[in-house]
């Protein structure tokens, strides 16, 4: 088989391949370090981080679905200081790929504070600003479903960092393009699409919701076609790169996302089902590319 070029360039940062575990499905990377060599990954998006440590939402907070899962973890994390002083430096000691800090907040000021702290950490390469988490009250998705609010967060973050800023958007909107354009106009370097959809499961025997928070973020294979459509829309409406995410579980899905316009592709819920999902996808890509007559992944980005 002819050697294939899996590399991509994201805001001037070279990734050995486009495969990136999505935030919230891979911890801080260190948790999987004994499972496989992390250096096969193009990048790692770390667990969502807030200013203060959070214990997350009450349990139960996971519900199985026929073609995916719903979760309401609620941004459980050790806080921004632990990220920049401990988690990111420890990961950098064993990982040479792109480290992506996923930043959350409850106010524009908190987003800016957290991003300023992440900017000062030399072990972090990219900031992924999460304005789309559906499982916290008063933050996250409250900023990402309105163009003006999303732009306000983007401007505040852009003012405190020189690192690439990706805004992670919610699919729970009627017009994803207007929000993505507002973020681009406010200084975003890229867009991550998409976070989870709002979902719900009910235990009919107990006559109450399965998840203590009642609703949760729905992810998994069922959302792939909708996520793909949103990636295609935004990639062709904006001039900044897109990281595609949502229901990706195999090499063919990665190719679809890239053809729709994604430069890199995040794998989320599939990591929870199969911790070896990312390396398996990366291993499968060269043979799939060969069968499709693709020599370099960069040549197919946005061809649809």
Domains and CATH numbers, the chain: 8-300 (3.20.20.70)
Q: Considering 115, 121, 133, 245, which one is annotated as catalytic?
A: 133
> What residues have CB less than 8 Å from 99, skipping those under 6 apart?
29, 43, 44, 46, 88, 91, 92, 123, 124, 125, 126
pTM over 0.85: yes
Q: Is the pLDDT of residue 299 over 90?
A: yes
32 or 136: which leads in pLDDT: 32
- In the chain, the largest separation of any two C-alpha atoms, in whole Å, equals 58
Q: Is the pLDDT of residue 136 over 70?
A: no
Encode pLDDT of 40-59 as tens digits.
Answer: 999 999 999 999 999 999 99
Give me the numbers of helices (H) and strands (E) for the chain, helices first please: 10, 16
How big, in percent rounded to 5, are the helix, strand and coil portions of the chain? 35, 20, 40
Across all residues in the chain, what is the average pLDDT? 95
Q: What is the pLDDT of residue 246?
A: 97
What percent of the chain lies above the pLDDT cut of 70? 96
Active site residue 121: no
299 or 140: which leads in pLDDT: 299
Encode pLDDT of 81-115 as tens digits.
Answer: 999 999 999 999 999 999 999 999 999 999 999 99
Encode pLDDT of 68-80 as tens digits.
Answer: 999 999 899 999 9
């Amino acid at each position: 088989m002819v050697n294939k070029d899996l590399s991509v360039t994201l805001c001037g940062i070279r990734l050995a391949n486009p495969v990136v575990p999505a935030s919230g499905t891979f911890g801080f990377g260190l948790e999987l370090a004994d499972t496989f060599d992390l250096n096969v990954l193009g990048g790692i998006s770390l667990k969502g981080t807030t200013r203060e440590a959070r214990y997350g939402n009450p349990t139960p907070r996971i519900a199985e679905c026929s073609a995916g899962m719903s979760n309401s973890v609620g941004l459980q994390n050790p806080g921004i200081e632990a990220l920049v002083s401990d988690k990111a430096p420890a990961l950098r000691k064993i990982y040479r790929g792109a480290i992506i800090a996923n930043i959350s907040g409850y106010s524009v000021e908190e987003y800016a504070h957290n991003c300023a702290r992440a900017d000062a950490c030399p072990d972090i390469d990219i900031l992924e600003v999460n304005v789309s988490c559906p499982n916290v009250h008063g933050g996250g998705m409250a900023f990402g479903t309105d163009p003006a609010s999303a732009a306000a967060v983007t401007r505040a973050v852009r003012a405190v960092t020189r690192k690439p800023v990706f805004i992670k958007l919610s699919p729970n909107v009627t017009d994803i393009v207007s929000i993505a354009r507002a973020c681009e106009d406010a200084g975003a370097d890229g867009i991550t699409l998409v976070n989870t959809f709002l979902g719900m499961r009910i235990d009919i025997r107990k006559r109450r919701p399965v998840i203590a928070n009642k609703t949760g973020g729905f992810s998994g294979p069922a959302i792939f076609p909708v996520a793909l459509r949103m990636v295609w829309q935004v990639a062709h409406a904006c001039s900044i790169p897109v990281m595609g995410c949502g229901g990706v579980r195999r090499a063919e899905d990665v190719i679809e996302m890239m053809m729709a316009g994604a430069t890199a592709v995040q794998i989320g819920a599939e990591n929870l089902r199969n911790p070896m999902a990312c390396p398996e996808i990366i291993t499968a890509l060269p043979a799939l590319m060969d069968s499709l007559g693709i020599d370099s992944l960069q040549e197919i980005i946005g061809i649809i």
